[in-house]
Amino acid sequence: MNRARIFVLILAFFAQVLSGGTASQAAPPREIIDLGGGITLELSSIPPGIFQMGSDHCTPLEQPVRPVKISQAFYLGIHEVTQAQYRQIMSTNPSFFAAAKNQEASDYANADAHPVEQVSWFDCVRFCNLLSMNQKLTPCYMNKSRGTIIADNDAVTCDWTANGYRLPTEAEWEYACRAGTTTRYYWGEAMSSRAIKQYAWYVDNALETAWTKPHAPRPGTQPVGTKLPNAFGLFDMTGNVWEWCWDWYGGYDTRAQLDPKGSRGFCRVARGGSWSSFSFLLPSAYRSGTEPNCRPIDQGFRILRAIP
Ligand SMILES: [Ca+2]
């Protein structure tokens, strides 16, 4: 092997190291989990990258706008976890908009495709760990005793190197939501009801006291994947249900960020707005927080798995 060839090989090696390797290029574009009982859960591969996180147009909590690097590719659920998927793993369905819980039960008798709600942050963590174990993957979440059976109010830590399922960090969530966009929403800046209705279930088409035609046949959550997706093929990142993230809800660190994993606080971050949210709560950068034991009727989650 001559010197020039060796030099090229060395250059190629460092180029691969600097680019974070080729794992994302080799990863299949979709992961489909068989949950049993004829129920599947589909995830889309999201490449690593750098994006401008935050916004100057929401509240001070979304500031400052700064570059954030997501260094590792990951799979993210293309939908919010549905009632059918949740029931299949957890053997229960806590949702309000399900036949057993709702006063208008007959209207929601077939709500399997609606996102699960009335789940606490701890419920989501338990779902992720149980799903990981069912799929013979390493659970990400541990309590103080390094056990993977998580109780309410446990001090939960995350093994970021584990190959199991977990909640997205809010940086991963916003990166996936934006899908390369820098605009207010992932469809651009259009704030009209007509524009938003193409992409999201929110007050104008899902809250009975505020909606205008055309609207859903009944108020509340709606079947997942019935609006337009973003450029990563993710549905309902805006609206339908708020989505729990890993992070504590607090002010952003102003320094440049590499895979940020959150602040300190008493609430966990929720993102994306819901069927009962007005448009000012829907921007890709907008942040909200919910006490981790709460189970709101407009909050659910979607799952992530890091691509090794
Ligand atoms: Ca959502």
Give this prediction's pTM: 0.90
305 alpha carbon to ligand 1 midpoint, in Å?
Answer: 18
Lowest mean pLDDT among 24-28, 31-35, 132-136: 24-28
CA atoms within 13 A on the CB side of 50: 8
pLDDT in tens, 169-217: 999 999 999 999 999 999 999 999 999 999 999 999 999 999 999 999 9
User: What pLDDT was estimated at residue 255?
Assistant: 79
CA atoms within 13 A on the CB side of 142: 12
Mean pLDDT of 289-296: 98
Percentage helix, strand, coil, to 5, in the chain? 25, 20, 55
DSSP 86-152: HHHHHS----SSSTTT-TTGGGGTT-TTSBP-S--HHHHHHHHHHHHHHTT----EE-TTS-S-PPT
* Amino acid sitting at position 216: A
Mean pLDDT of 101-122: 81
217 alpha carbon to ligand 1 midpoint, in Å?
Answer: 19
3 alpha carbon to ligand 1 midpoint, in Å?
Answer: 55
User: What pLDDT was estimated at residue 66?
Assistant: 95
127 alpha carbon to ligand 1 midpoint, in Å?
Answer: 18
235 alpha carbon to ligand 1 midpoint, in Å?
Answer: 8
220 alpha carbon to ligand 1 midpoint, in Å?
Answer: 13
pLDDT in tens, 122-157: 999 999 999 999 999 999 999 999 999 999 999 999
244 alpha carbon to ligand 1 midpoint, in Å?
Answer: 9
Residue 5 has pLDDT above 60, yes or no: no
| Angle at CA of residue 163, ends 157 and 164, nearest 5° | 65
Pair 185, 227: CB distance under 8 Å: no
What residues have their beta carbon closer than 5 A to ion ligand 1?
A: 236, 240, 272
Lowest mean pLDDT among 1-5, 67-71, 147-151, 259-263: 1-5
